[in-house]
Amino acid sequence: MKFKKSLSYIVITFILFNICSYTVFADDKNSSFREPNINARCAIAMDSKSKVIMYQKNASELVPMASTTKIMTVLVAIKYGKLDEKVQISSRSAGIRGSVVGYKKGESITLKELLYGLMLRSGNDAAIAISEGVSGSVEEFVKLMNEYASEIGVINTHFKTPHGLDKEEHYTTAYDLAVLTSIAKNNTLFNEIVSSKDVDGPQNGFTRSYHNINKILWKIPDANGVKTGYTGKAGKCLVTSTKVQGNDVIIVVLNCPRRWEETEKIYKYVDKNFKFNKLFSKGDKALELRVNKKDLKLECEDDVIVPIKNGFKCSVKIIKPQRIKYSVNKGDRIGMLCIYEGDKKIYSTSLRASNSIKVKKFIKWIF
């Protein structure tokens, strides 16, 4: 195996025939283990790629989400809509209350421009127009939102609107919002939109220019998104994406009166107390098994980079099948690589076969 030099490779042992493990330590310099006292009903900090949680407070509590809803709205629109098609603003869109861009009834706006109005200006009128343009109605669009949420594993969230104004049965959790945002961050257009501070209308072929109301883009230099929100029931909300040691970290605060300051506090805590460690590179051999008198090599599908708290012990365990009696093709997923902090699993990923091995079944060989 290849290991980063800064990690301490202690020992390899075999446990219960099908698990092998070894231990690594994070650098303990400049450690400050005290978690910040965050004035928010719910909060979380999650590494966007590995989904490792670095801070949480009531992260699984079901709460209203206000305009952070629009993260899902833009994702569904990108997936199902045609960006260059124009949408005519309806009376329902032009008459919506709350935060709006100011689109007028009868205006024709491209779906792409509506996405900028949705995320930079938090336009509820943009949310209605997008829904009608993509699905024909708000109600049908919301069905797509809930279907997509189930598809990507955001299971403790339910949508009733595309904009997030208070409504019964419209809720999420800080954890779900962080997972949703981490998935959204894989989309190039989403990143382009939410990281924009100002968008020039004429230069982009839009009907108007847009200024981003998300102050976190100015408050944290490495911030690159994502979305603000506020309603009477939800309170002030903020979902942030920011670089920490070159890695995207998602920070969510819900019902948080001082959302800018509390988000910055979490960001500083994560940056000071965690170190991102590259345990494996894509293609590294994690384990070798003997199958049909041949060597089967299991490798990592991608780089394994996880944040480890300064001074904490982290163990890596590889779970493998006890015996393989079937043919294996290159690329087949076999076994799991798991990372534990103490007894708590913080990360897992599948391993894949880096070579093929054919196994002839006895009955087939006879015939």
Any idea which residues carry the catalytic annotation?
67, 70, 122
Instruction: Map tokens 């949705």 to a residue.
Output: 118
In this structure, which amino acid lies at residue 93? S
- CB 60 within 8 Å of CB 156: yes
Q: How far apart are CA 140 and CA 155, in angstroms?
A: 19
Q: Is 345 helix (H, G, I), strand (E, B) or coil?
A: strand
Q: How far apart are CA 341 and CA 210, in angstroms?
A: 44
Best CA proximity match to 313, nearest among 106, 117, 47, 26: 26
C-alpha–C-alpha distance, residues 330 and 1, integer Å = 19
Q: Are 303 and 282 in contact (CB under 8 A)?
A: yes
- Is 227 marked as a binding-site residue? yes
Long-range CB contact pairs, 108-113, < 8 A, 24+:
109/207, 110/83, 110/84, 110/85, 110/86, 110/205, 110/206, 111/77, 111/81, 111/82, 111/83, 111/84, 111/85, 111/86, 111/87, 112/83, 112/84, 113/204, 113/206, 113/207
H-run or E-run covering 340 = strand 333-341
Tell me the β-bridge partners of 109: 87
Which residues are documented as binding site? Answer: 227
Binding region for substrate: 227
